[in-house]
Amino acid sequence: MRLVTTPRVTFLRGIADEVLARAGRGRMIVAIDGPLRSGKSAFADDLRDVLAEREHAVFRARMEDFHRSREAQAAFGADTADRYYRYGFDESALRRVLVEPFRLGGSAAFVTRVFDPARDAWVEPKWRTGPEDAILVVDGRFVLRDRLAELWDSTVAIDGDPLDPADAIAYAARDPRAVADVVVDLADPEHPRFGRRR
């Protein structure tokens, strides 16, 4: 279905062009990082819609849905920004039930959500399948960190300085604006533009 053309949609179509130029055939994963309250999730939702507009099979996942429980995080020590940055997310589950089976293609089933951080509870997994050629759009804090970097085919960083201590730690370790394929300035969300690499 063709989306209504707005400045935001026009910009996103340009981003989609860049993503699809890297895609080739098979499965592809796009990762979108940015600081807290930067608009990355809404941007990822809209990118999904623009990619789907071109009749691609597109799936959506959020790092927020791969949190560790509060109890599991407590096993790593006191509740600090450093602990949250290092251990707040269940990256093993992300790899095991989402990224690795998604990469297999074909009939391999994958899960896009395992945890509800608001309820601090696991959710019943919904196993999904898709065609051989499909795109997964993932957004979240810290997704462009070193230890996840090899998971992604195309990367976007939403411009903006860290707003909280966990983001400050993450950006000191590896600023996503320095490593992403594309940096996007969402200072005016309805009129996004390209940002500059740091």
Q: pTM of this prediction?
A: 0.95
- The closest alpha carbon to 84, from 163, 24, 9, 142, belongs to 142
> Within 13 A of 1's CA, how many CA atoms are on the CB side?
4
| pLDDT tens-digit series, residues 30-44 | 999 999 999 999 999
Give the pair of three-digit tokens for residue 131: 């065609």
- The closest alpha carbon to 196, from 154, 188, 182, belongs to 182
pLDDT above 90 for 62: yes
| pLDDT tens-digit series, residues 100-116 | 999 998 778 999 999 99
Which residues have C-beta within 8 Å of that of residue 71, sequence separation ≥ 6?
A: none
Angle 70-74-76 (CA atoms, 0-180°, nearest 5)? 130
Rounded Cα distance between 34 and 164, Å, is 12
pLDDT above 80 for 23: no
Note the pLDDT of residue 24.
66
Rounded Cα distance between 175 and 197, Å, is 9
Q: At 55, is the pLDDT very low, low, confident or very high (cuts 50, 70, 90)? A: confident
| pLDDT tens-digit series, residues 125-163 | 999 999 998 999 999 999 999 999 999 999 999 999 998
Q: How far is CA 34 from CA 103, 192, 196, 197, in A?
A: 24, 14, 14, 13
Rounded Cα distance between 28 and 154, Å, is 8
CATH (residue range 7-194): 3.40.50.300
